[in-house]
Amino acid sequence: MTTFVDRLHQAIQTKNTPALVGLDPRWDQLPEELKKTASGQGGTLDCIHARAYEAFCSRIIDVVAPLVPAVKPQSAFFEACGPAGVEALRNVIKAARNAGLIVICDAKRGDIGSTAQAYAAAYLAGEDPDAAPFAADCLTVNPYMGVDTLQPFVDRAQQVGAGIYVLVRTSNPGARDFQDRETDSTKLFENVADRVEELSLDLADGSDYGSIGAVVGATYPKELSELRQRMPHVPLLIPGYGSQGGTAADVASAFDANGLGAIVNSSRGIIFGFRSGKLAEEYGEAKWEAGIEAATKLMIEDLAAR
């Protein structure tokens, strides 16, 4: 069995970029063409939205699969369409796997004991696409409840060759509220980072990285750089690049000498890139897939020049 982090790093090397495309479908911003087709097939509003989200994400997957190693569907937008949306999420995860992409399900789950086990069983399939109903390679997890609530996810990851990214330093302005609280010269997020490093070191089993990762926002570049040092065996997932303001320079410190150890996410900037700036002029809605391809290539170039 190949571990999650090894599969991820192979994919990063094959595609020669750490760019991660976030799949955050929003009805208001979908191409009219897709909204029309989905509406024409009838059903409840939730079903129509779910159908459009699945079509939109599937076409994005076709565009980006040759270019990037991984995609990150955001569960919230699918859940907002009810059971039909959740079925669309499952299908999007499947489609991405079938296209050879690593799938990180962004659902930020977390709970105690056997409840955490249920979440892990729901989302962590690892290498075997039939090992979980939502067959992701990796899941984002919230640490607030404590290390014993991370353990069931770690166990499952180890068992099936999956991974998790634990929220350490998020990209939003309010990240400071609780994560920056300092106790004996150590901030909460640093304390969480230390525990994540322990978990990942244990799974690394002599390798450079384990499959227990950390979410660290590009919007706090100083902390990102420090956390890279603090968690040498932890692969990073970096949100906040692009629309949220993070730049290629901001994330440069996250990578090791081989260009590994981190992936950088862009969601809106890629999937709705055709709606703003130069890409809107050049492609616009009429050529939205070409616009997404161009946005992805721009991100890849930008990151390569870091």
The catalytic residues are 108
Closest distance between its own copies and the C-beta of residue 264, in Å? 17
> Which residues contact its own copies (rule: CB under 8 A)?
24, 26, 46, 74, 76-77, 79-83, 85-87, 90, 108-116, 118-119, 121-123, 133-134, 142-149, 167, 170-179, 181-183, 188, 191-192, 195
Alpha-helix runs per DSSP H in 182-287: 188-204, 221-230, 248-251, 268-271, 277-282
Residue 132 burial (10 A CB sphere; 0-12, 13-18, 19+): buried
115 or 159, CB closer to its own copies? 115
1 or 118: CB nearest its own copies: 118
Q: Is 263 helix (H, G, I), strand (E, B) or coil?
A: strand
Number of Cβ within 10 Å of residue 145's Cβ equals 12
DSSP annotation of 136: B
The rounded distance, in Å, linking the Cα atoms of 46 and 84 is: 7
Instruction: Fill in the DSSP letter of residue 241.
Output: B
CB-nearer residue toward its own copies: 66 or 83: 83
Token digits for 117? 């086990």
CB of 247 to its own copies, least distance (A): 19
Rounded Cα–Cα distance for residues 11 and 21 (Å): 14
Minimum distance, C-beta of residue 122 to its own copies, in the bound complex (Å): 4
Kindly tell me which of 6 and 111 has the beta carbon lying closer to its own copies.
111
In 137-253, beta strands by DSSP E: 138-141, 163-169, 182-183, 186-187, 212-216, 236-238
Supply the minimum distance, in Å, between the C-beta of residue 218 and its own copies. 13
